[in-house]
Structure formats: C-alpha cells, structure tokens
A and B are shown apart, each in its own frame.
Chain A
Amino acid sequence: MKKIAFLIVTLIILSAGIYFEYEKVKALNIARCLGCIAMEPKAEKFKNFWVEYPSSYKMSGIPPHPSWLVNESREKIVMLFFWGPACHPCELQWNAMKKAGIVKGSEENGSFTENFSYAKLFSINQPYDEKGGIITLYTSDRGTGTPTTVILFEKNGIVYWYAFSGEANGEGGRPDINELINILEKAREEKYGGMQP
C-alpha cells in the first residue's frame, strides 16, 4: 500500500506540475542561453533592413508581426531585447549598451536614453514575460535563445526589421555595440528621411 500511495502522490504532483508549469519549462527550454552554448546566431551581416525572412532563416515569407508591435513600430523605431534572468551574455550586452549610452536602467525596467528618443525599447524577460513567445517569429526554432535583439519600424504599411541572436560583440555575423548604434541611426534615416521625428 505504501508504494501505491507514493505512486499516487507523485502522480498528483506530476500532474499539477505539468498543468501549471509545462509552458514555463517549455519557455525556459526555448530561452536557452546563446552565449553559454554557442547557438547558431541565424543572423546575416547587416546590410539593409529585411521585409521577408532572409535566406539564413528556416522560415520564409513575411513574419507574422503581432498587431501591437506593428502599431508601436508606426510611432517609433522599436527595439526588442529578449533576455533571461540567469543569462550572463544578456547581462554583458545590456551593460555594454548602457556604457555606450544607448539604454538606461536595468534589464527589468530599462529604456532608451534621451539620445535615442526616436526609439522605443521593449526589454522582454523571455521565459517569464507574456510577450516572450514572439521571439520565435524572429529566430528559427533551434536558433532561438537569449539574448536576441530585434529592430523594427513601419513605413508606408511595410514593416522593416533586422534581428540577431547572441551577444552584440561583433562575432559570428553579429554587430558590435557601435554597429548597433549605426543600425538604429540607419533605421531613423530610413523611417523619417532627413526629418527629425
């Protein structure tokens, strides 16, 4: 009887665990730390902003950008910064962006500095934020991981975007922090032309 009791108790615990925590564990599984493991960045060296998935992605066509994101990208240049709480390379990138005067605050509640007032930052705690799931739109499934950085803007009904996975350290096709600033400036030029927003 003791064994049966143990079995029933563990089955109840397991069922409760699956019911309440399956999605969280799945999000954690997807939010694998790129820096820790050398995940393929799935990024092409930045030349122009993309409309469709570039050839390095497994997916093709125009990404199904969520409507809230399209709305936000109409107003301003949007940067999505996907990070994870225990992700060391995410921390490295955040600190480097902070040092370069791009962002202020912490990963949890950071924003762009006044120099980048034309842009809006969504710093997304990928496994725990309800917006975290959209990371899969901007990386292929097995390339998904933190940190991932996405820059988007809308112009004449078209969403232009650029994404890279892994720390912005200039390696593996990824931009370094100075190139990241250039990409944001380029986005501003593309969206607003010579006009200040």
Chain B
Amino acid sequence: MVVCNLNCPSCPFAYICIPMIIGAFIALKRYSGRLQKKRIVSQFSFLFITNTAFIFGSTGLIYTYFYCWESPFALMACPIGVLEHAFADRTWYILVYLVGAIGFASVIFGRAACGWACPIGFLQDLTKGRKIKREMDRKVRYLKYVILALIPPACYITERLAYTEICPIGGLTATVPHLIINPYGYTFTEFFLPKMLITAGFFVLIFLMTRGWCRHLCPVGAMMAPFNKISFLQLNYYEEKCVKCFKCAKICPMQIEMPYKNKSTECIRCGKCVDICPTDALDFNFKWQ
C-alpha cells in the first residue's frame, strides 16, 4: 500500500499533512522541557484524531475543544455548532449532551484541552506571538464570555447558525481546505467575505499575541474556564520552595500572574511554568479532594 506518493496538489490529505510537517519542525525547535515533549506528542495525536473521519466516518461525539465539524475529515461535532443548533432548531435536549461532554472533560482536566488537545491552540503555540500590557489583557479577557453569551440569542432570533457564518476557525479549518480541494463546490453567500476577513484577522491576532484567540475570543475556552477552579487536575504552588524568580510569570502564554494565580480560569495547563521552575515549586497532580 502506498502511503504517500508525494503528489500533494491532488491529495485530499495534503491540507492537514503539510501543516503537520511544518508544525513538527517548528515545534521540535521550540518545545523544550519534560512536559513540553509530552505535550507535542499529545497535540500531534489530537490533530490526527480530530481528522480521522476518513477512517471512522462522521460520529456523534463532541469535541471538547474548538474544531469545525465541517472540516473535510472532522471526526466529531463542534461544541459551538451543537450549541447553535440547539437554539436555531429549538432542539434543547442536545444541550444536555453538550453540557455533559464539556462538563465531564473539564471537571477532570480543567482547561487542559486548550493546551494539550486543541489544534487551534497548537497553531498558536507555533505562531508564538507577543505579550501585551497586563491592564489591556485583563479587560479584553472577558470578551470571550460576551461572545459565548451572545451566540444563543443570536441563533434563536435569526434561526441560523449565526456564529458559524463568521467563525474564523470554520474559515480556517473548513472553508479554506474545501476551497482548495474543490473551488467550484462553494455557494458564495453574503457571509463569505466577512468570514474570510475575520479569518485573516484571526491570523493577525495570533501572530501579534501569545494565545490571543484562547485568551480573548474563544467561546469554547469560555465554556471550560470556570471548571479550572474545581477540576481534579490542578496546578499546585508550594510557596516554601519558591525563590520568587518569576520565570513562570514570564513564560506563561496566557499571561497569568504566576505563581500566585495558579488556579486562574485562564490556565490551560500547558506546563511551561512547571518545566521552567528551578526549584520545583510548581507541579501538576490530580486532587481528588
């Protein structure tokens, strides 16, 4: 069986394969530390699993991170898409499934899916970006909750998938790949241009800011964030070991005021702070109590 014939222009897997190879080169250079090595394996594995519909077909499972179910090989359903359908179609019972899926994963892992599983988070790790002023960051963080709160009424009133029409993640992971695979298959609606402009804006954002999408705009992150306070997986801070070097604060991609705000709703459990801590004053473990 020929796995790859190096004929990328005609290969339907090229859109995912090429970014994975480029990503591997960047990630291998950029990821250092015990947890980071594990994280790169996890992120690659999830990127692959996310796009395995060519093996398993479309399933009724729900992603616990942001990925478009209209992507050519998307295995599961987008949590925001499910939320939109519940309100646009008035099918309230699927909300139970959504709450259960997000709740169950988040009670165990908190927002770790953002750091260890989400392909969009992975992309942002590769683009790196810069840090912004704390004051500004603190104010804009709440925007993702506002977006999440606006999606249900927007879908209910318009009876459409209002967010999907302009979703930059959909633009990146579904519209663009489909346009590459089959440029004539698209029905251009009035939302195409805004969607592409927002997708371009998404790229500007992630190149300008570290985890700019996760921190400020991601509605799935907003769903999971409150669970950080009660999740089993916790980032622990041992004050007696801390030498107050604040390396953890400097490296944190979410710009959390580490080490004191170790239970922050913004923490994506990426473990960069754990890896860089010279005195092991930070670690991860599952707390059952």
Verify B161–A35 contact, CB threshold 8 A.
no
Q: What residues of B have a CB within 8 angstroms of the CB of A88 in the complex?
A: 160, 165, 187, 189, 191
Known contacts: A15-B100, A38-B178. The answer to whether A25 contacts B62 by CB under 8 A is yes
Q: What residues of B have a CB within 8 angstroms of the CB of A128 in the complex?
A: 89, 91
Chain B interface residue number, banded = 35 or more
Q: What residues of B have a CB within 8 angstroms of the CB of A171 in the complex?
A: 184-187
**Alpha-carbon separation in the docked complex, A102 to B259 (Å):** 67
| A-B contacts, CB under 8 A, total | 180
Verify B230–A86 contact, CB threshold 8 A.
no
Contact with B along A67-100 (1 / 0, CB 8 A): 0000000000000000001101100100000000
Q: What residues of A have a CB within 8 angstroms of the CB of B183 in the complex?
A: 38
Q: How far is the CB of A158 from chain B (nearest CB, A)?
A: 30
Q: Which of A128-167 contact B (CB under 8 A)?
A: 128, 141-142, 144, 166-167
Known contacts: A17-B96, A30-B58. The answer to whether A85 contacts B185 by CB under 8 A is no
Q: What residues of B have a CB within 8 angstroms of the CB of A37 in the complex?
A: 70, 170, 174-175, 178, 186
Q: What residues of B have a CB within 8 angstroms of the CB of A10 in the complex?
A: 99-100, 103-104, 107
Q: Which among A6, A17, A92, A167 is the interface contact of B230 at CB below 8 angstroms? A: A6
Q: Which of B273-288 contact A (CB under 8 A)?
A: 287-288
6 A-B pairs with least C-beta separation: A17-B97, A35-B187, A14-B100, A26-B60, A38-B186, A13-B100
Q: Which residues of A contact B (CB under 8 A)?
A: 1-4, 6-7, 9-18, 20-30, 32-41, 85-86, 88-89, 92, 127-128, 141-142, 144, 166-167, 169, 171-173
Q: Which residues of B contact A (CB under 8 A)?
A: 53-54, 57-62, 69-70, 72-74, 76-77, 81-82, 84-85, 88-89, 91, 93-94, 96-101, 103-104, 107-108, 155, 159-161, 164-165, 170, 174-175, 178-179, 181-187, 189, 191, 230-232, 287-289
- What are some 21 contacts across the A-B interface (CB < 8 A)? A6-B107, A7-B232, A10-B99, A10-B107, A14-B103, A22-B61, A23-B60, A25-B77, A25-B94, A26-B58, A28-B85, A37-B178, A39-B178, A39-B182, A86-B84, A86-B85, A86-B159, A88-B165, A89-B189, A127-B85, A142-B72
